[in-house]
């Protein structure tokens, strides 16, 4: 719960920081792997930066975030599609939160390193529950040392994550490593793309 509290307390400054990050490499990957005009779910949308990019490029973008402040912010940012944004973290129960849709793609950017190893199976099951057949899953997470704050961090076990998706019929098709878009030398970002076999 401390991680969500951190985002609620610091939402205003984090929105500005995240919106000003250079996400061009990630956004090129999204355009490469996700068909234009697809229906897409962003899990942990934060400031709404990536949804803004996707919406501008013609995607039907939806989102989940556990921070009430981030949800309020994105509803103000997109007043015409407020119903697209729900307060929920991962793992989630789609029936309990009222998400009665299937998506062509699911993305989760800068979320997985906040999950404990024991949450992986349920988190993957949550994603699969809202993914259409032949869908694409994009997960991006950080590696390395971080500034000590109240958020929970755990190094991501990519082998285990890959195995969980493989069990559900999703293959790892690309892994991309890049430097931190906020110029933190201690961090490296890993983006992985899974597609249904």
pLDDT tens digits for range 136-159 = 999 999 887 666 667 888 899 999
pLDDT-based confidence at residue 122 (cuts at 50, 70, 90) = very high
Unique residue bearing structure tokens 């090129």 = 28
pTM to 2 decimal places: 0.92
Q: Is the peptide bond before 91 cis (omega within 30 degrees of 0)?
A: yes
Q: What is the pLDDT of residue 147?
A: 63
pLDDT tens string 57-78: 999 999 999 999 999 999 999 9
Residue 131 pLDDT exceeds 80: yes
**SS3 category, 126:** helix
pLDDT tens string 31-66: 999 998 999 999 999 999 999 999 999 999 999 999
Is 26 in contact with 171 (CB distance < 8 Å)? no
Q: What is the pLDDT of residue 190?
A: 93
Mean pLDDT across 182-194: 82
pLDDT tens string 8-21: 888 888 887 787 77
Residue 184 pLDDT exceeds 90: no
**What does the DSSP assignment read for 55-122?**
HHTT-EEEEEES-HHHHHHHHHH-GGGGGGEEE--SS--HHHHT----EEEEEEES-GGGS-GGGHHH
Is 130 in contact with 94 (CB distance < 8 Å)? yes
Domains, the chain, ranges and CATH? 2-196 (3.40.50.150)
């Amino acid at each position: 719960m401390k991680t969500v509290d951190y985002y609620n307390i610091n939402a205003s400054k984090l929105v500005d920081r995240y919106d000003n990050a250079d996400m061009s490499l990630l956004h090129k990957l999204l355009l490469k792997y996700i068909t234009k005009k697809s229906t897409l779910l962003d899990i942990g949308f934060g400031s709404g930066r990536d949804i803004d990019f996707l919406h501008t490029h013609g995607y039907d973008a939806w989102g989940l975030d556990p921070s009430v402040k981030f949800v309020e912010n994105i509803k103000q940012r997109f007043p015409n599609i407020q119903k697209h944004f729900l307060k929920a973290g991962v793992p989630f129960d789609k029936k309990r939160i009222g998400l009665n849709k299937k998506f062509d793609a699911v993305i989760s950017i800068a979320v997985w390193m906040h999950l404990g190893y024991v949450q992986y199976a349920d988190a993957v099951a949550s994603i699969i529950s809202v993914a259409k057949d032949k869908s694409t899953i994009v997960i991006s997470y950080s590696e390395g040392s971080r500034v000590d704050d109240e958020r929970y961090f755990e190094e991501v076990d990519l082998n285990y994550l890959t195995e969980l998706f493989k069990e559900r019929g999703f293959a790892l098709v690309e892994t991309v490593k890049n430097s931190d878009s906020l110029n933190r030398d201690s961090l490296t970002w890993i983006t992985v793309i899974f597609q249904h076999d």
